[in-house]
Structure 1
Amino acid sequence: MTTAVHRPTVTARIDTTGPVPAPDTWTATVYINTHDDNFHGYQPHHPLAAATRRDDSALLLVFHANDRLHNHEDAAEAAFEVGNRQGSDDNGQTWPSDIRSVSVGDVIKATSPDHWIRHLRVDPHGLTAIPEPTPLAPLAGERVTHRH
Protein backbone atom coordinates (compact mmCIF):
# COMPACT_ATOMS: atom_id res chain seq x y z
CA MET A 1 0.00 0.00 0.00
CA THR A 2 1.30 3.46 -0.85
CA THR A 3 0.29 6.70 0.81
CA ALA A 4 0.45 10.12 -0.81
CA VAL A 5 2.47 12.61 1.20
CA HIS A 6 2.08 16.34 0.70
CA ARG A 7 5.33 18.27 1.12
CA PRO A 8 5.24 22.04 1.47
CA THR A 9 7.00 24.17 -1.11
CA VAL A 10 9.91 26.20 0.22
CA THR A 11 10.92 29.42 -1.47
CA ALA A 12 13.73 31.83 -0.76
CA ARG A 13 13.85 35.54 -1.37
CA ILE A 14 17.18 36.85 -2.65
CA ASP A 15 17.85 40.56 -2.27
CA THR A 16 19.46 41.90 -5.45
CA THR A 17 19.10 45.62 -4.76
CA GLY A 18 22.80 46.44 -4.39
CA PRO A 19 25.99 45.54 -6.16
CA VAL A 20 26.76 41.85 -5.76
CA PRO A 21 30.48 41.45 -5.11
CA ALA A 22 32.43 38.83 -7.02
CA PRO A 23 34.27 36.14 -5.03
CA ASP A 24 37.61 37.99 -5.29
CA THR A 25 36.40 41.35 -3.99
CA TRP A 26 36.80 43.38 -0.85
CA THR A 27 33.89 45.52 0.31
CA ALA A 28 33.83 48.56 2.55
CA THR A 29 31.10 50.44 4.36
CA VAL A 30 31.83 53.84 5.87
CA TYR A 31 30.22 54.86 9.15
CA ILE A 32 30.12 58.61 9.68
CA ASN A 33 30.73 59.75 13.25
CA THR A 34 27.77 61.98 14.13
CA HIS A 35 28.97 63.04 17.60
CA ASP A 36 29.48 66.79 18.17
CA ASP A 37 33.18 66.14 18.88
CA ASN A 38 33.65 63.75 15.93
CA PHE A 39 36.77 65.35 14.45
CA HIS A 40 38.80 64.69 17.61
CA GLY A 41 38.67 60.96 16.98
CA TYR A 42 36.27 58.08 17.46
CA GLN A 43 35.30 57.08 20.99
CA PRO A 44 33.19 53.96 21.72
CA HIS A 45 30.22 56.05 22.91
CA HIS A 46 30.07 58.10 19.67
CA PRO A 47 27.03 57.40 17.46
CA LEU A 48 27.80 56.25 13.93
CA ALA A 49 25.57 56.30 10.86
CA ALA A 50 26.15 54.29 7.70
CA ALA A 51 26.76 56.31 4.57
CA THR A 52 23.86 55.67 2.18
CA ARG A 53 22.89 56.38 -1.39
CA ARG A 54 20.06 58.76 -2.28
CA ASP A 55 17.56 55.87 -2.20
CA ASP A 56 18.63 55.13 1.44
CA SER A 57 20.31 51.84 0.52
CA ALA A 58 23.73 51.18 2.00
CA LEU A 59 26.67 52.60 0.10
CA LEU A 60 28.73 49.44 -0.35
CA LEU A 61 32.10 50.18 -1.94
CA VAL A 62 33.58 47.29 -3.92
CA PHE A 63 37.26 46.72 -4.71
CA HIS A 64 38.68 43.79 -6.67
CA ALA A 65 41.67 42.01 -5.18
CA ASN A 66 44.85 43.06 -6.97
CA ASP A 67 48.55 43.63 -6.36
CA ARG A 68 47.90 46.75 -4.23
CA LEU A 69 44.92 45.40 -2.29
CA HIS A 70 46.04 42.65 0.09
CA ASN A 71 44.34 43.21 3.44
CA HIS A 72 41.62 44.98 5.39
CA GLU A 73 43.74 48.09 5.82
CA ASP A 74 44.27 48.36 2.05
CA ALA A 75 40.51 48.06 1.47
CA ALA A 76 39.81 50.71 4.11
CA GLU A 77 42.45 53.01 2.55
CA ALA A 78 40.76 52.56 -0.84
CA ALA A 79 37.39 53.44 0.75
CA PHE A 80 38.98 56.48 2.41
CA GLU A 81 40.21 57.69 -1.00
CA VAL A 82 36.75 57.29 -2.54
CA GLY A 83 35.25 58.96 0.55
CA ASN A 84 37.49 61.94 -0.10
CA ARG A 85 36.34 62.21 -3.70
CA GLN A 86 39.56 60.77 -5.14
CA GLY A 87 38.04 58.48 -7.75
CA SER A 88 35.56 55.65 -7.55
CA ASP A 89 35.31 52.06 -6.42
CA ASP A 90 35.74 49.24 -8.94
CA ASN A 91 32.04 49.42 -9.86
CA GLY A 92 32.32 53.12 -10.72
CA GLN A 93 30.57 54.38 -7.57
CA THR A 94 31.71 57.79 -6.39
CA TRP A 95 31.15 59.44 -3.03
CA PRO A 96 27.73 61.15 -2.78
CA SER A 97 27.98 64.93 -3.02
CA ASP A 98 25.62 65.47 -0.08
CA ILE A 99 27.70 63.48 2.43
CA ARG A 100 30.76 65.06 3.99
CA SER A 101 34.15 63.54 3.22
CA VAL A 102 35.47 60.67 5.30
CA SER A 103 37.41 62.21 8.20
CA VAL A 104 39.19 61.54 11.45
CA GLY A 105 36.68 59.97 13.84
CA ASP A 106 34.82 57.94 11.22
CA VAL A 107 34.88 54.12 11.07
CA ILE A 108 35.31 51.89 8.01
CA LYS A 109 34.07 48.30 7.99
CA ALA A 110 36.21 46.26 5.59
CA THR A 111 35.15 42.76 4.52
CA SER A 112 37.60 40.37 2.86
CA PRO A 113 36.78 37.98 -0.01
CA ASP A 114 36.50 35.17 2.58
CA HIS A 115 34.04 37.31 4.63
CA TRP A 116 36.35 38.23 7.53
CA ILE A 117 35.35 41.64 8.86
CA ARG A 118 37.48 44.30 10.52
CA HIS A 119 36.41 47.72 11.73
CA LEU A 120 39.03 50.43 11.42
CA ARG A 121 38.80 53.92 12.83
CA VAL A 122 40.21 56.83 10.86
CA ASP A 123 43.01 58.46 12.86
CA PRO A 124 45.05 61.58 12.07
CA HIS A 125 47.87 59.44 10.66
CA GLY A 126 46.28 56.23 9.42
CA LEU A 127 43.83 53.56 10.50
CA THR A 128 43.52 51.56 13.72
CA ALA A 129 41.62 48.28 14.14
CA ILE A 130 38.87 48.47 16.78
CA PRO A 131 36.15 46.13 18.11
CA GLU A 132 32.82 46.34 16.30
CA PRO A 133 31.22 49.62 17.37
CA THR A 134 27.58 50.17 18.23
CA PRO A 135 25.29 51.67 17.08
CA LEU A 136 26.20 51.20 13.44
CA ALA A 137 23.08 52.20 11.55
CA PRO A 138 20.97 55.33 11.10
CA LEU A 139 17.47 55.42 12.46
CA ALA A 140 14.72 54.56 9.98
CA GLY A 141 14.39 57.37 7.47
CA GLU A 142 17.52 59.17 8.70
CA ARG A 143 20.11 60.03 6.08
CA VAL A 144 23.65 61.13 6.74
CA THR A 145 24.22 64.42 5.00
CA HIS A 146 26.92 67.02 4.70
CA ARG A 147 27.88 68.39 8.07
CA HIS A 148 30.74 70.50 9.42
Structure 2
Amino acid sequence: MTTAVTRPHTVTARIDDADAVDSAPAPAVYTVTVYMNTHDDNSDGYKPHHPLAAATHPDGSPLRLEFNASDRIHSHKAAASATYDVGNHQRADDRGQTWPGETLRSVSVGDVIKITGPGHWIIHLRVDPVGFTPVPEPAHLTALAGTRPARHR
Protein backbone atom coordinates (compact mmCIF):
# COMPACT_ATOMS: atom_id res chain seq x y z
CA MET A 1 0.00 0.00 0.00
CA THR A 2 1.24 3.49 -0.82
CA THR A 3 0.67 6.56 1.37
CA ALA A 4 0.74 10.08 -0.01
CA VAL A 5 3.14 12.43 1.79
CA THR A 6 3.11 16.17 1.25
CA ARG A 7 6.44 17.97 1.26
CA PRO A 8 6.79 21.57 2.36
CA HIS A 9 7.78 23.97 -0.38
CA THR A 10 11.52 24.60 -0.56
CA VAL A 11 12.80 28.08 -1.26
CA THR A 12 16.29 28.72 -2.49
CA ALA A 13 17.68 32.23 -2.09
CA ARG A 14 20.75 33.78 -3.62
CA ILE A 15 22.71 36.20 -1.46
CA ASP A 16 24.55 38.85 -3.41
CA ASP A 17 27.94 40.07 -2.20
CA ALA A 18 26.56 43.63 -2.11
CA ASP A 19 24.03 42.57 0.54
CA ALA A 20 26.80 41.07 2.66
CA VAL A 21 28.85 44.29 2.52
CA ASP A 22 25.86 46.40 3.60
CA SER A 23 25.39 44.25 6.68
CA ALA A 24 29.07 44.10 7.65
CA PRO A 25 29.70 45.07 11.28
CA ALA A 26 31.03 48.54 11.99
CA PRO A 27 34.77 48.72 12.71
CA ALA A 28 35.81 48.39 16.35
CA VAL A 29 36.25 51.84 17.89
CA TYR A 30 37.96 53.30 20.95
CA THR A 31 35.90 56.26 22.23
CA VAL A 32 37.72 58.73 24.46
CA THR A 33 36.76 61.49 26.91
CA VAL A 34 39.42 63.68 28.50
CA TYR A 35 38.88 64.91 32.04
CA MET A 36 40.86 68.09 32.68
CA ASN A 37 42.37 68.40 36.17
CA THR A 38 41.08 71.69 37.62
CA HIS A 39 42.92 71.52 40.96
CA ASP A 40 45.39 74.33 41.77
CA ASP A 41 48.25 71.81 42.04
CA ASN A 42 47.42 69.82 38.89
CA SER A 43 51.02 70.07 37.66
CA ASP A 44 51.99 67.64 40.43
CA GLY A 45 49.83 64.97 38.81
CA TYR A 46 46.37 63.60 39.46
CA LYS A 47 45.28 62.70 42.99
CA PRO A 48 41.89 61.04 43.69
CA HIS A 49 40.60 64.15 45.52
CA HIS A 50 41.33 66.49 42.58
CA PRO A 51 38.28 67.87 40.78
CA LEU A 52 38.06 67.01 37.09
CA ALA A 53 35.95 68.50 34.31
CA ALA A 54 35.15 66.80 31.00
CA ALA A 55 36.61 68.58 27.98
CA THR A 56 34.01 70.22 25.74
CA HIS A 57 33.70 72.01 22.43
CA PRO A 58 33.41 75.82 22.54
CA ASP A 59 29.60 75.49 22.36
CA GLY A 60 29.62 73.35 25.52
CA SER A 61 28.87 70.03 23.82
CA PRO A 62 30.94 67.03 25.01
CA LEU A 63 34.24 66.48 23.24
CA ARG A 64 34.53 62.80 22.29
CA LEU A 65 37.44 61.47 20.27
CA GLU A 66 37.23 58.25 18.26
CA PHE A 67 39.97 55.96 17.03
CA ASN A 68 39.34 52.90 14.88
CA ALA A 69 41.00 49.73 16.09
CA SER A 70 43.95 49.11 13.78
CA ASP A 71 47.59 48.09 13.73
CA ARG A 72 48.38 51.55 15.16
CA ILE A 73 45.53 51.70 17.71
CA HIS A 74 45.43 48.20 19.20
CA SER A 75 45.23 48.79 22.97
CA HIS A 76 44.00 51.23 25.59
CA LYS A 77 47.52 52.67 25.94
CA ALA A 78 47.80 53.23 22.18
CA ALA A 79 44.41 55.01 22.25
CA ALA A 80 45.60 57.14 25.19
CA SER A 81 48.79 58.05 23.33
CA ALA A 82 46.78 59.03 20.23
CA THR A 83 44.49 61.12 22.47
CA TYR A 84 47.50 62.90 23.96
CA ASP A 85 48.71 63.69 20.42
CA VAL A 86 45.29 65.12 19.44
CA GLY A 87 45.10 67.05 22.72
CA ASN A 88 48.47 68.63 21.94
CA HIS A 89 47.59 69.64 18.36
CA GLN A 90 49.74 66.95 16.70
CA ARG A 91 46.98 65.22 14.74
CA ALA A 92 43.23 64.64 14.42
CA ASP A 93 41.20 61.65 15.57
CA ASP A 94 39.93 59.13 13.01
CA ARG A 95 36.84 61.27 12.29
CA GLY A 96 39.03 64.28 11.48
CA GLN A 97 38.24 66.06 14.75
CA THR A 98 40.99 68.29 16.14
CA TRP A 99 41.48 69.76 19.62
CA PRO A 100 39.74 73.14 20.12
CA GLY A 101 42.92 74.98 21.10
CA GLU A 102 41.43 78.45 21.07
CA THR A 103 39.22 77.67 24.08
CA LEU A 104 40.67 74.58 25.74
CA ARG A 105 44.14 74.01 27.14
CA SER A 106 46.22 71.10 25.93
CA VAL A 107 46.09 67.66 27.53
CA SER A 108 48.67 67.67 30.34
CA VAL A 109 50.18 65.72 33.20
CA GLY A 110 47.50 65.36 35.87
CA ASP A 111 44.57 64.94 33.46
CA VAL A 112 42.61 61.68 33.22
CA ILE A 113 41.68 59.94 29.97
CA LYS A 114 38.56 57.74 29.93
CA ILE A 115 38.66 55.09 27.20
CA THR A 116 35.73 52.92 26.17
CA GLY A 117 37.10 50.02 24.15
CA PRO A 118 35.63 47.97 21.32
CA GLY A 119 34.17 45.44 23.78
CA HIS A 120 32.51 48.30 25.73
CA TRP A 121 35.00 47.98 28.57
CA ILE A 122 36.05 51.22 30.27
CA ILE A 123 39.41 52.22 31.72
CA HIS A 124 40.58 55.51 33.22
CA LEU A 125 44.24 56.44 32.71
CA ARG A 126 46.15 59.20 34.49
CA VAL A 127 48.49 61.23 32.26
CA ASP A 128 51.95 60.88 33.78
CA PRO A 129 55.20 62.69 32.88
CA VAL A 130 56.03 59.58 30.84
CA GLY A 131 53.11 57.33 29.86
CA PHE A 132 49.81 56.54 31.53
CA THR A 133 48.72 54.76 34.71
CA PRO A 134 45.31 53.14 35.35
CA VAL A 135 43.28 54.85 38.10
CA PRO A 136 39.83 54.19 39.58
CA GLU A 137 36.88 56.01 38.05
CA PRO A 138 37.12 59.64 39.22
CA ALA A 139 34.62 60.60 41.91
CA HIS A 140 35.02 64.39 41.75
CA LEU A 141 33.64 65.48 38.38
CA THR A 142 32.66 69.13 38.06
CA ALA A 143 30.84 71.06 35.35
CA LEU A 144 32.02 70.60 31.80
CA ALA A 145 35.13 72.62 30.95
CA GLY A 146 35.19 74.24 27.55
CA THR A 147 37.03 77.46 28.12
CA ARG A 148 40.41 78.42 29.44
CA PRO A 149 40.47 79.98 32.90
CA ALA A 150 41.02 83.73 32.93
CA ARG A 151 44.67 84.69 33.18
CA HIS A 152 45.73 86.84 36.11
CA ARG A 153 47.59 90.03 35.24
- Structure of greater Rg: 2
Q: Which residue of 1 is the match for residue 136 of structure 2?
A: 131
Q: Which residue of 2 is the match for residue 118 of structure 1?
A: 123
Q: Which amino acid aligns with 2:45?
A: G
Count of aligned residue pairs for this structure pair: 124
Deviation at 1:55, TM superposition (A): 2.0
Q: Tell me how far apart the structure 1 counterparts of residues 142 and 117 of structure 2 sit (CA, whole Å).
A: 21
Deviation at 1:128, TM superposition (A): 0.2
Q: Which residue of 1 is the match for residue 29 of structure 2?
A: 25
| Residues 58, 147 of structure 2: 8 Å contact kept | no
Q: Tell me how far apart the structure 2 counterparts of residues 125 and 60 of structure 1 sit (CA, whole Å).
A: 23
Which of 53, 57, 74 lines up with 2:57 in the alignment?
Answer: 53
| Residues 25, 63 of structure 1: 8 Å contact kept | yes
| Residues 61, 79 of structure 1: 8 Å contact kept | yes
For structure 2, which runs of at least 5 residues remain unmatched after alignment? 1-25
Deviation at 1:144, TM superposition (A): 3.4
Please tell me whether residue 107 in structure 1 is matched to residue 109 in structure 2.
no
Q: Tell me how far apart the structure 2 counterparts of residues 145 and 33 of structure 1 sit (CA, whole Å).
A: 13
Q: Which residue of 2 is the match for residue 19 of structure 1?
A: none
Q: Tell me how far apart the structure 2 counterparts of residues 66 and 86 of structure 1 sit (CA, whole Å).
A: 19
Deviation at 1:71, TM superposition (A): 1.2
Deviation at 1:72, TM superposition (A): 1.0
Q: Tell me how far apart the structure 2 counterparts of residues 40 and 52 of structure 1 sit (CA, whole Å).
A: 23
Q: Which residue of 1 is the match for residue 48 of structure 2?
A: 44
TM score, norm. by length of structure 1: 0.79
Q: Tell me how far apart the structure 2 counterparts of residues 52 and 114 of structure 1 sit (CA, whole Å).
A: 25
Q: Cα deviation per residue 1:32-66 (whole Å; 9 max; x = unaligned)?
A: 00000001100000000000012211100000010
Deviation at 1:96, TM superposition (A): 0.6
- What RMSD in Å do the two structures reach over aligned CA positions? 1.4
Q: Cα deviation per residue 1:47-93 (whole Å; 9 max; x = unaligned)?
A: 00000012211100000010011111111111111000111001111
| Residues 88, 94 of structure 1: 8 Å contact kept | yes
| Residues 100, 146 of structure 1: 8 Å contact kept | yes
Which of 117, 124, 145 lines up with 1:143 in the alignment?
Answer: 145
Deviation at 1:137, TM superposition (A): 4.3
Q: Which amino acid aligns with 2:147?
A: T
| Identical columns (%) | 60
TM score, norm. by length of structure 2: 0.76
Please tell me whether residue 85 in structure 1 is matched to residue 93 in structure 2.
no
| Residues 39, 104 of structure 1: 8 Å contact kept | yes
